[in-house]
Structure 1
């Protein structure tokens, strides 16, 4: 009996602990308006060469003709330079959702639902929903349908969730007339800094419009018992804007 007990004790001592699963990102996440944690420096260091980090996360927006260090191709620069804020205040555009390249940098919260097969991001901004396939599949052919959230595949690299996104419809990079094409490619790296803090590096490349890459570093805080609310964009604000602008023009 003593030998049997010793044998079980030896097995117990020699058994390796069960491998820990990936971090749980499930929950409601809201933008952290405080300074970035020092740990986010590792996300910056992992960015590919020739990448500029944009300083427009949260509420700040670039003024006209300022693109945060992005190198625009001549045709892109000409289109962006011709843009005016009033261009967005039309019935056709005022409630048009941006692509996820721009949408995720704003001050709006999102929810995460996580499983082994997929991870779902539900954003409050324009009620957008992304599905991240975690089952090892590839992106579809280049001529497959595009959307504002694109096609995303993900995998874990240690404690980091890495998401690769293609098939995005042409849309906003910065909210001052700079748009990406439908060939833009985006990569995100999510890292939990603690149980209540989530950080990401989001970098993108688009050789049709840019001569370098752009990136954003974003940090969120987890809030229990919260959920995203309907965005409910009201296009009538475009009519009100045009009426105000028209009154101002008549007053000149």
Structure 2
């Protein structure tokens, strides 16, 4: 009886020690993946992605393309430079960061999903997922949101996006080329404030990498209603409603 009781206490102690060890080993992982899930909205609505310091560092070709976009906008020829305004096409990355409507973030099975209220657009970031084989050459086909791969650096989610179509824009006017690379660093400033620090690189359009910061505020959880951008175009309403 004494031996059985002693054995039982030993088993309990071993189990408790194992549980404590598992919790200790899991703590860094938990600390490295803060809860950025929830509904968010840009804190200061804007259509312009402003550099942290100075002006957008255009190359000669980049400045020429930017001036052409300004001239086209003045003439109302949106389809010649901004297919988001003319066709409700996905704004792409990083312009999606400026959407004035809400968006929802959730993190499941190594994928961070951004579900935008605007036109119910979607964007996904693969986190810690090894590169997948490109059997059909699809990696050579640029898309609006490109391909985003991410990883955690402490309390910060780092995403690197490449492979975006040059038909998208950085913001409402700034162009880019095929070699655009967007590195984003998402972190919680506090429980209700999310910061997205954006690094833009494109040697054909910009003379050096440049950085911008966009901040979001947490919103009450909600189910987004259907949002059809094309209906607004038909009704001659703004593509990006407030």
In 2, the alpha carbon distance for the partners of 1:237 and 1:181 equals: 33
**For each residue in 1:175-198, what CA deviation from the matched residue of structure 2 results, as whole angstroms up to 9, or x when unmatched?**
23x211122011111112333222
Q: CA deviation at 1:13?
A: 7.3
Structure 2 counterpart of 1:29: 40
Structure 2 counterpart of 1:199: 195
Structure 1 counterpart of 2:56: 70
Q: 1:198·1:219 contact (CA, 8 Å) conserved in 2?
A: yes
Q: 2:47·2:171 contact (CA, 8 Å) conserved in 1?
A: no
Paired positions, count:
212
Q: Which has a greater percent of helix? A: 2
Structure 2 counterpart of 1:235: 233
In 1, the alpha carbon distance for the partners of 2:66 and 2:195 equals: 30
Q: Judging changes above 3 Å, is the alpha-carbon distance between structure 1 residues 182 and 227 closer, same or farther for their aligned structure 2 residues?
A: farther
> Aligned with 1:172: secondary structure?
coil
Q: Judging changes above 3 Å, is the alpha-carbon distance between structure 1 residues 9 and 143 closer, same or farther for their aligned structure 2 residues?
A: closer
Q: CA deviation at 1:7?
A: 9.3
> Aligned with 2:66: secondary structure?
helix
Structure 1 counterpart of 2:95: 102
In 2, the alpha carbon distance for the partners of 1:32 and 1:62 equals: 14
Q: Judging changes above 3 Å, is the alpha-carbon distance between structure 1 residues 237 and 68 closer, same or farther for their aligned structure 2 residues?
A: farther
> Aligned with 1:80: secondary structure?
helix
**For each residue in 1:217-248, what CA deviation from the matched residue of structure 2 results, as whole angstroms up to 9, or x when unmatched?**
1222222332334442233366x99xxxxxxx
In 1, the alpha carbon distance for the partners of 2:141 and 2:63 equals: 28
In 2, the alpha carbon distance for the partners of 1:89 and 1:133 equals: 32
> Aligned with 2:61: secondary structure?
helix
In 1, the alpha carbon distance for the partners of 2:15 and 2:130 equals: 39
**Residue 225 (str. 1) matches residue 211 (str. 2):** no
**For each residue in 1:163-221, what CA deviation from the matched residue of structure 2 results, as whole angstroms up to 9, or x when unmatched?**
11111111212323x21112201111111233322212111201111111232212222
Q: 2:94·2:171 contact (CA, 8 Å) conserved in 1?
A: no
Query: Which residue, out of 118, 124, 140, partners 1:125?
Result: 118
Aligned-residue Cα RMSD (Å) equals: 3.4
User: If the length of structure 2 is used for normalisation, what is the TM-score?
Assistant: 0.72
In 2, the alpha carbon distance for the partners of 1:153 and 1:143 equals: 13
In 1, the alpha carbon distance for the partners of 2:202 and 2:112 equals: 25
User: If the length of structure 1 is used for normalisation, what is the TM-score?
Assistant: 0.69
- Extract unaligned runs of 5+ from structure 1: 34-57, 242-252
Q: 1:105·1:216 contact (CA, 8 Å) conserved in 2?
A: no
